[in-house]
Structure 1
Amino acid sequence: MKAIFLTDKGRVRPHNEDCGGIFTNEYGQILAIVADGMGGHRAGDVASEMAVEKLKEYWEQSPLIRSPREAEEWLSTHVEKVNRDLFEYAKTNEDCQGMGTTIVTFICHDSFATISNIGDSRCYLRNSSGFKQITEDHSLVNELLKSGQISKEDAKQHPRKNILLRALGTEEAVQMDTKTIGIDPGDHLLLCSDGLSNKISEDELLEILTSSFTNEEKATKLIQRANENGGEDNITVILYEHPEEKGDDAC
């Protein structure tokens, strides 16, 4: 499996509130997750760790995913469960009141990947057609950008850049964006927290992803570059390269 997970607390933050991982079910299918926690005294790391651990547990018990519909239903059902778990935990633990986390995740099948996100952690795709962001940020700045109130340059330095419009665990119910894309051998999916995407331009991302380095070296260089560019936030990366097809029950 050509999949790499790396996380780093960056150069400024005292501890790491990001969490993530790459997990397989009994059929060898992959679930990849990046979560960026926030809120309360050390509550951000609680929220992100809970989200990842609970989804990991659910995935390890998952039936075989055969279609995009099944993948989308699995993510919808289980992310909603995790949202309720986090919301109830925060209500009964004073130190964690107001906690929440972003999440970006994908389920991989031989011929498709189903991607879901809440917040501003992102998924990018690199394939034969080029390089593009697959997810859309659920942030105030992105809404201002979409409505034409600010420019892309304004967005990069906006003072309210950290304000999210959606997060996992902060409300009793949450809205998640989900889409399924076709995927071919050699295609790359990049999941990351905003500690990476805020510090590295798409041109820089593409420069590293198209280099001759191994996938592990590429992931390491992405984190190094984000730290070189300031490293004010935690930085988390999952870099996945889709392999040759191995059959209907494998990824």
Structure 2
Amino acid sequence: MIGRFFTDTGQVRSHNEDAGGAYKNDKGQILAVVADGMGGHRAGDVASQLAVTILHNRWKETLSVESPDQAETWLKEAIHEVNQKILEHSHENEECRGMGTTVVVSICSESFVSVGHIGDSRVYLADSDGFRQITEDHSLVNELVRSGQISEDEAEHHPRKNVLLKALGTDEQVTADILTVEFEEDNRLLLCSDGLTNKVSGDELAEIADYEGDWENFGHNLIDLANDRGGEDNITLVIVHNTQAPEKEGVEEC
């Protein structure tokens, strides 16, 4: 299994509030994470990096994940811990008050993927059924689309597009969406922040389904595309490819 992590500050922001990584255990399973931080005084990058560090540390203590039930329990408990630690940090550090972060985190095995998420960072899956988004944005605009108040086209240019209904570190109690899907040989998973999806279309992202080249090139090409179209936000993605072929290089980490 191959995991690749990419992040870029973009063309406008002065610093990167995204964080993430792809971390492989001794069983060859991968923990993939993308977090998009928010908050003033650089606190967004504190929240997102704190989330990734906590998840990575828990993963290093996990020898293997044997079943979807075990994976989903792991995600629920880990995301709860992240939420509490971000809240504690913001209460103890005045400059971090009000900070928060989105998170998408996936446990990838050779037969299944379990995903936990909060916010509007996304996970896409390419399998025998095609290419599709498997997470639902926790955003005001997505709720307006779901309730039929606006169309998907209107959502693309809505003035409140960036308003989140859920984030980590902003409330004592927050419930992550958790799901499991099959992950067969040659399936591909894409995790990304909205800095990518706001600039690159679903059809362009879907090229991951049939790509046979170097994943380093694919990831950097997506970042270049988002930057060429303005790059107003930070851009972060993780690619996981369920392949039995031996890796030439190690997993990319944050």
Question: Shared topology, TM-score over 0.5?
Answer: yes
Match of 1:202 in 2: 202
**CA offsets 1:60-103 (integer angstroms, 9 cap, x no match):** 00142111000000010111011001011101111100000000
Query: Secondary structure, in 3 states, of the residue corresponding to 1:72?
Result: helix
Partner of 2:40 in structure 1? 40
Question: In 1, are the aligned partners of 2:126 and 2:208 still within 8 Å (CA)?
Answer: no
Instruction: Give distance in 1, aligned partners of 2:212 and 2:51.
Output: 34
Equivalent residue, structure 2, for 1:143: 143
Correspondence for 1:249: none
Per-residue CA distance 1:175-216 (angstroms, 9 max, x = gap): 100100001111000000000011111011123653443211
Letter in 1 for 2:213: F
Q: Is the 8 A contact 1:35 1:48 kept in 2?
A: yes
Q: CA offsets per residue over residues 7-64 of structure 1, 9 Å max, x none?
A: 0001111110000001123433211100000012100000000000011011100142
Partners in 1 of 2:63 and 2:72 — Cα distance? Answer: 13
The answer as to whether partners of 1:188 and 1:239 remain within 8 angstroms in 2 is yes
Q: 1:206 to 1:144 in 2, by over 3 A?
A: same
- Normalised TM-score (structure 2): 0.93
Match in the other structure for 1:86: 86
SS at match of 1:136: coil
Query: Shift of the alpha carbon at 1:223?
Result: 0.6
* Alpha-carbon distance between aligned partners in 2 of 1:20 and 1:167, rounded to the nearest angstrom: 16
The offset of 1:236, in angstroms, is 0.2
CA distance, structure 2, for counterparts of residue 61 and residue 26 of structure 1:
11
Q: What TM-score, normalized to structure 1?
A: 0.94
Identity over the aligned pairs, expressed in percent?
53
**Paired residues of 1:208 and 1:222 also in contact (CA < 8 A):** no
- How many residues are treated as equivalent by the alignment? 246
- The answer as to whether partners of 2:127 and 2:209 remain within 8 angstroms in 1 is no
Q: Structure 2 regions of 5+ residues with no counterpart? A: 247-254
SS at match of 2:155: helix
The equivalent residue for 1:184 is: 184
Q: Which runs of 5 or more structure 1 residues have no equivalent in the other structure?
A: 247-251
Larger deviation: 1-10 or 41-50? 1-10
- Per-residue deviation at 1:244? 2.9
Residues 1-251 of structure 1 mapped to structure 2, 5 A cutoff: 1-207=1-207, 209-244=209-244
